[in-house]
């Protein structure tokens, strides 16, 4: 198991390097620059700014300089946020996105897995149809449609929760964004869990266990649950990553000061270091989640290790 984990970990290094390189080249190939604005600066000021941020060097030297800074954990200085480094901006925004996205994926798994199991065990019942209806709604409507509906119902209609903002992490400001992500992710998890459980329950080893007279509870929890969880485990990684990438929409709808807002502002302002820093952050998180999913999959199914 340790050798398998080491091989998977080493395989992530080329992925990180390739993503950083491609993003770096694309940002520098696009027209314009970080200091292009309606208010033009003088040639001397522009020259000093480019020298300060090493933009006067050849592209390959800029790239090596940036890689050297990354190896030291330095994401660079922001071009547009004066006196702020990218590390400071990320440390300020990451807790918001991590709180919303992390808690929502945990709640979605805790609710989606039991709902999918119950729907499979009571196939073609009212519970099954209800779960599938909710799953279809969650998968059919995008977040930028469900989010405003939640605001209209719970914020403007019932006045239970605020419509947006963060207010230093007060819990009532996080309820609606979490509810949006929980509903979308829970719908996907419940649908996948139902299909997986139905397939496992029709397997030969399950029929053998039932033929031996084992109670349904024992058959489900001891024999069917573990293999039925394999597709769900594979799904958790992409869903967790989607919670981060969906922050662009979620945080825009609910006016949250998280990673999504930084991505939008960095792209609009052509802030090279900010965009690159966020790409590196999202890539590292993506690779880490995929690695954890691979390890969990190998633990559930030892055949994967070979």
pLDDT: is 198 or 75 the higher one?
198
Q: Supply the DSSP string of the chain, one letter for each residue.
A: -HHHHHHHHHHHHHHHHHHHHHHHHHHHHSSS-TT--SSPPPHHHHHHHHHHTTTTS-HHHHHHHHHHHHHTT---B-SSSTT-BHHHHHHHHHHHHHHHHHHHHHHHHHHHHHHHHHHHHTTTSHHHHHHHHHHHHHHHS-HHHHHHHHIIIIIIIS--S-SS--GGG-HHHHHHHHHHHHHHHHHHHHHHHHHHHHHHHTSHHHHHHHHTT--HHHIIIIIIHHHHHHHHHHHHHHHHHHHHHTHHHHHHHTT--SHHHHHHHHHHTT-HHHHHHHHHHHHHHHHHHHHHHHHHHHHH-GGGG-
- Residues 174-191: pLDDT tens digits? 888 888 888 888 888 888
Is it the case that residue 137 has pLDDT exceeding 80? Answer: yes
- pLDDT tens digit sequence for 238-285: 777 777 666 677 877 887 887 877 777 777 777 777 888 888 888 888
């Amino acid at each position: 198991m340790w050798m398998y984990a080491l091989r998977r970990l080493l395989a992530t290094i080329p992925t990180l390097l390739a993503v950083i390189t491609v993003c770096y080249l694309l940002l520098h190939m696009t027209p314009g620059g970080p200091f292009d604005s309606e208010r033009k600066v003088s040639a001397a000021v522009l020259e000093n700014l480019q020298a300060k941020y090493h933009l006067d060097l050849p592209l390959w030297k800029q790239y090596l300089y940036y890689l050297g800074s990354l190896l030291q954990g330095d994401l660079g200085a922001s071009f547009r946020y004066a006196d702020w480094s990218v590390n400071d901006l990320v440390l300020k925004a990451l807790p918001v996105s991590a709180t919303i996205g992390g808690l929502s994926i945990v709640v979605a798994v805790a609710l989606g897995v039991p709902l999918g199991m119950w729907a499979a065990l009571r196939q073609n019942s009212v519970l099954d149809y209800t779960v599938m209806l909710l799953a279809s709604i969650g998968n059919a409507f995008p977040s930028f449609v469900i989010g405003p509906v939640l605001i209209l119902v719970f914020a403007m209609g019932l006045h239970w929760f605020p419509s947006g903002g963060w207010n230093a992490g007060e819990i009532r400001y996080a309820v609606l964004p979490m509810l949006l992500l929980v509903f979308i992710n829970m719908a996907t998890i419940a649908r996948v869990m139902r299909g997986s459980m139905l397939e496992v329950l029709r397997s030969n080893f399950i029929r053998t266990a039932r033929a031996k007279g084992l109670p349904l509870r024992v058959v489900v929890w001891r024999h069917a649950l573990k293999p039925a969880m394999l597709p769900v485990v594979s799904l958790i990684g992409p869903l967790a990553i989607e919670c981060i990438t969906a922050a662009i929409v979620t945080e825009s709808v609910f006016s949250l000061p998280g990673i999504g807002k930084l991505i939008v502002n960095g792209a609009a302002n052509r802030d090279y270091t900010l965009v690159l820093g966020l790409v590196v952050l999202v890539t590292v998180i993506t690779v880490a989640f995929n690695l954890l999913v691979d390890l969990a999959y190998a633990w559930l199914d030892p055949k994967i290790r070979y």
